[in-house]
Amino acid sequence: MATSLEKYEAVIGLEVHAQLLTRSKLFCGCSTAFGAEPNGNVCPVCMGMPGVLPVLNRQAVELVVRAGIAAHSEIAPHSIFDRKSYFYPDLPKGYQISQYETPVCRGGYIELPPKDGQEPRRIRLVRIHLEEDAGKNIHQPDGSLVDFNRSGVPLAEIVSEPDIRSAEEAGAYLRALHAILRYADISDARMEEGSMRCDVNVSVRPRGSEKLGVKTEIKNLNSFRFVEKAIDFEVRRQIEILESGGRILQETHLWDPVREQTRPMRSKEYANDYRYFPEPDLPPLRIAPDLIEAVKAAMPELPAERRARYIRDYALSPYEADVLVAEREVADYFEMTLPGLKNRKAAANWVMTEVLRVIRESGRPLAEAAPAAAQVGALLAMVEAGKISLNAAKTAFAAMCKSGKDAETTVAELGLAQVSDEAAIAEACDKVLAAHPKELGEYRGGRDKLFGFFVGQVMKAMGGKANPKVINELLKKKLAT
Amino acid sequence: MGSELHKLTVSEARDLLRKREVSSHEITRACLDRIGEVEPRLNAFITVCEREALEQADAADRRLASGDDVPAMCGIPVALKDIYCTRGVRTTCASKILDNFVPPFDATVVAKLRAEGAVFLGKTNMDEFAMGSSTENSAFGPTRNPYDLERVAGGSSGGSAAAVAADECLAALGTDTGGSIREPASFCGVVGIKPTYSRVSRYGVIAYASSLDQVGPFAKTVRDAALLLGTLAGVDPRDSTCSARPVPDYEKALLGEVHGLRIGVPKEFFVAGMASDVERAVRDALRQYESIGARLVDISLPHTPYAVACYYLVATAEASANLARYDGIRYGFRAEADNTDDLYNRSRALGFGAEVKRRIMLGTFALSAGYYDAYYLKAQKVRTLIRRDFERAFASSDVIVAPVAPTTAFRLGEKTEDPLTMYLSDIFTISVNLAGLPAMSVPCGYDGGGLPIGMQIIGPPFSEETVLRVGDAYERSGTGKRRPAKV
């Protein structure tokens, strides 16, 4: 198998649907809020009542233009909407308003973070277009129900060229795209809530061949990991078929996350002639150069820019910058710890180790798992000021994660503050030296190593809370005399 | 026999109401009585709203009593084609598939009339989903012509045309996709105007062919049509295709004269096979225009022969998508079924009539992979050529005058067996929709059998003022005097 895997090259293209962060739906005034009661966010327009007409949401247009600019696409000054016809109970009009031949954005690319020593990879885009979402069918033992809350919610469909060559690269592309969508406030891009969805087109071909193989489409992928697993599975499946002299069928597969395999849908489920034609109820969409300039001017900082800034301004390593920038919440959190700190690198390390660990171990989102960033900043400021030790800070952080109390209170309650009072420490030093005449003699005789012993004894006498720097200084002074 | 108030025109009623000489209640009562009297023979209405109409009339009377700054349509009883969504009142589109549909909202034009205090007598009969030229394709039976009960009222807005002709209401609303206002207006001897595409909001008007559908009034006089159009027209934030142009005072445009006006006479609209009485009546009207100072200009609209074919591709393609929403899932008729596919198939098979199914299939075919370029796209190109024909014609003429239909009202059942013959009833009206132009049908005489004949006045985009002025001038010249229907 290993040898046959090497003989072939995977050719992968992704179609990503991202829900745009608008307050209202694409063609009516209904709310897009997630989690409303079923059919709570509907009106005659998004229910497809007779006689209703769509009115385009300008905010959705701006967001898809923003996506296009972030992805280096060309923005069409003039594009049209089309009707895509198919019957499904969750599709109220019997057609979806989408864009076919003239998308808002054409071309562009997503840059993948460079791997060590390599040039950054660019995955080219075919297009980004605007379309409306459908509702949701809910099947129950006694019948099926339809919830139209999602019907008419604005989506950007982002279609890549078949530039992706491995499951790993598909994952990197999705993470990079996800970061752009979130940094630019285009979409909250939550795979688990369905605000980002992904269909995969996979084919394989003998390495070196220019000709594309027959592709299959994989649907029902609602996490990055599933995308990677499904691609791995599908690539192996296709190679096995070709190696045994078989033929790949152009068909649509569903990912089964339980069995971790793809299975073909019934042909009826996808054999559609969508009969696209221009939507007569909407005039052509004109995007003036002014709008493009305004969107550019208001563009939030994108992940690549933030990564560069961290390396340049905070002297972080490319690796550290990548880890922090990967999730916008983490990067924003990191920056919120910074006011009042001199040592940015220490804050970066803290976020990368301590904060990411609690997220990982608790399995909860950052905002729930970790204390407020400002409190972590306050904690790190105490370390910087010598008020607490680094170990004490870790103890305090663990407690804060559970209690939600602020840094100062926690340090005080746990008695973690370091004693920097020179008189108290001097007194302890004197006592230790007096109590250990033998060691003092040996030290003075040249056994320098015993310095550590004295520090340890003083720390012990101070209950572990003395500032080690002060102990060092005072002991040195006393031993020198 | 009761009062004769149902015979009033809108402008007469408006004046009497303002002078408090009659009440809206009295006029409404007269119309309802007339409806009760003639409906068993005509079948112009699908739904009559007696209680609601009288309540609205009483409300209008209170408004009229409270001050003199009342809108034009306050207290005027009108009928609505059953294609307009009316909040709380069943709206069927003459289809079994919407037999039980009660919209939770008003169409924009209904809301405008409601805001002015108009009285809604009920919902009028039509061809199912506005697909037809005779109102025979109705799930509620055909409407009969008030001038001859054995003949059709025209269609698709046959109910509205017949209701106005029979004085069941003072005016009515219809829609015109390929002639559905003008042809029944012609057959029933009333005025009917299809405004420029985009002049009136389509929101809440059940869509047949979105790029062709347009709302318009039926009335007993051109003045009434002008008055109503003023209320209906104007921008609507719910319809992105609706024009933001200011709405002129159409009534003020009725100057009563056409001196120096150039009237184009298209040779393609006077064809062999048209009824001689129709040709004679339109030619007489043209001479009448000359006698009052207009100038006739021979023009050509060379792509006219392709209009019917072009229309039946564009309209049916759009219809195939527009009617996909009637799936039995959310509202309307739902057949018993074991699974979703059966639910669709059976609900649509049992819910739609034959002509609707024919057009859905035609449109689906025209948009199908492999046929799109040859049919839909080609038709769009032809549509552009037709539009250019008119642009060229309007370089040398201010309006075009032509017959509305090649014949007067035909017999019930005469054309139902042969859809193609039926489609040809719209041969003179369809190109106007494809070009998006305003056009009005004005009565211009009667044939040997006493059946009304209509001529249409076609203008360039947004020339409703001119079209209305030209129609009004003819009406005032006295030749086309309306003979009351004998029903």
Q: Which of A327, A330, A365, A326 is nearest to A350 (CA)?
A: A330
CA B425 – CA B306 distance, rounded (Å): 14
Give A392's pLDDT tier (boundaries 50, 70, 90): confident
- Cα separation of A11 and A371, whole Å? 44
In angstroms, rounded to a whole number, what is the distance separating the alpha carbons of residues B91 and B79?
Answer: 13
**Which residues of A touch chain B, with CB atoms under 8 Å apart?**
44, 47-56, 83, 85, 87, 89, 92-95, 144, 146, 273, 275-277, 280-283
Phi, psi of A293 (to 5 degrees): -65, -40
pLDDT the model gives residue B267: 95
How many alpha carbons lie under 13 Å from residue A231 in its C-beta half-sphere? 26
In chain A, the residue whose alpha carbon lies closest to the alpha carbon of B92 is A50
Asked if the Cβ–Cβ distance from A50 to B101 is below 8 Å, we say: yes
Structure tokens at A381: 């400021």
Residues 6+ apart with CB under 8 A from A43: A28, A29, A30
Residues of B at the A interface, defined by Cβ within 8 angstroms: 83-85, 91, 93, 98, 101, 103-105, 107, 202-207, 209-211, 237-241, 317-318, 320-321, 323-327, 329-331, 340, 344, 364, 367-369, 372, 376
In this predicted structure, what is the pLDDT of residue B1?
41
Residue to mutate among A26, A30, A49, A85, with most B CBs inside 10 A, is A49
In tens, the pLDDT along B439-468 reads 999 999 999 999 999 999 999 999 999 999
How far is residue B363 from each of residues A277, B189, B352, B360, B434, measured CA to CA in Å?
Answer: 11, 33, 15, 5, 16
- Which segments of A242-376 are extended strands (E)? 252-256, 261-264, 277-278, 285-286
What is the predicted pLDDT for the residue at A478?
86
Asked whether the beta carbons of residue B321 and residue A277 sit closer than 8 angstroms, the reply is yes
ipTM here:
0.96
DSSP code of residue A228: H
Which pLDDT value is given to residue B424?
83
Q: What is the mean pLDDT of residues B296-324?
A: 97
Please state which architecture CATH assigns to domain A422-480. Orthogonal Bundle (1.10)
Predicted local confidence at residue A270, as pLDDT: 53
Task: State the pLDDT at residue A268.
Answer: 53
Give the residue with greater pLDDT, A5 vs B342.
B342
Q: Are B142 and B109 in contact, with CB atoms under 8 Å apart?
A: no
State the pLDDT at residue B479: 66
Beta strands in A295-408 (DSSP E): none
pLDDT at B429 over 70: yes
Contact B376 A277 (CB under 8 A): yes
Taking the C-alpha atoms of residue B147 and residue B151, their distance in angstroms, rounded to an integer, is 8
CB contact (8 A) between residue B321 and residue A85: yes
The average pLDDT across A317-321 equals: 91
For the stretch B98-154, pLDDT in tens is: 999 999 999 999 999 999 999 999 999 999 999 999 999 999 999 999 999 999 999
Kindly state the DSSP code that residue A91 receives in the 8-state scheme: -
Beta strand ranges found along B82-187 (DSSP E): 119-124, 144-145, 148-152, 171-175
Return d(Cα B351, Cα B372) in angstroms, integer: 28
Averaged confidence pLDDT in chain B: 96
Domain limits at B433? 1-487
- Give the whole-angstrom CA distance, residue A173 versus residue A215: 19
Residue A100's pLDDT is 95
Alpha-carbon span B258 to B321, nearest angstrom: 44
* Contact assignment for B107 to A51 by CB distance below 8 Å: yes
Tokens of B29: 């009562």
The pTM (predicted TM-score) of the whole model is: 0.91
What does the pLDDT look like over A416-427, one tens digit per residue? Answer: 887 777 888 888
The answer on pLDDT for A197 being more than 70 is yes
Cα–Cα distance measured from residue A181 to residue A300, given in angstroms and rounded to the nearest whole number = 11
Of the pLDDT bands very low, low, confident and very high (cuts 50, 70, 90), residue A271 is: low
The answer to whether residues A84 and A91 touch, using CB atoms and an 8 Å cutoff, is no
Which is more confidently placed, B378 or A418?
B378
Neighbours of A105 (CB within 10 A): 29
Mind telling me how many Å the CA of B478 is from chain A's nearest CA?
Answer: 40
Domain count, chain B: 1
| A328-378 pLDDT tens trace | 999 999 999 999 899 999 999 999 999 999 999 998 989 899 999 999 999
- Name the DSSP letter for residue B251: G
Q: What is the pLDDT of residues B206-223, one digit of tens each?
A: 999 999 999 999 999 999
CA B63 to CA B56: how far, in whole Å?
Answer: 10
pLDDT beyond 80 at B165: yes
Q: What is the DSSP letter of B256?
A: S
Q: What is the pLDDT of residue A332?
A: 94
pLDDT in tens, A169-192: 999 999 999 999 999 999 999 988
Ranges in chain A annotated CATH 1.10.10.410? 422-480
The whole-number pLDDT of residue B2 equals: 56
CATH of the domain at B268: 3.90.1300.10
CB-based contact A468:A389 (threshold 8 Å)? yes
Residue A269 has pLDDT above 60, yes or no: no
Alpha-carbon gap, residue A153 to A9, rounded angstroms: 37
* Chain B residue numbers touching A48 (CB-CB < 8 A): 325, 330
- Which among B103, B210, B237 is the nearest to A49, CB-wise? B103
Check pLDDT > 70 for residue A7.
yes
Two structure tokens written together for B303: 């792509």
Test B369 with A55 for CB contact under 8 angstroms: no
Quote the CA–CA distance of A270 and B110 in Å, as a whole number. Answer: 41
With beta carbons less than 8 A apart as the criterion, state whether B41 and B149 touch. Answer: yes
B180 is an active site residue = yes
Average pLDDT over residues A25-50: 96
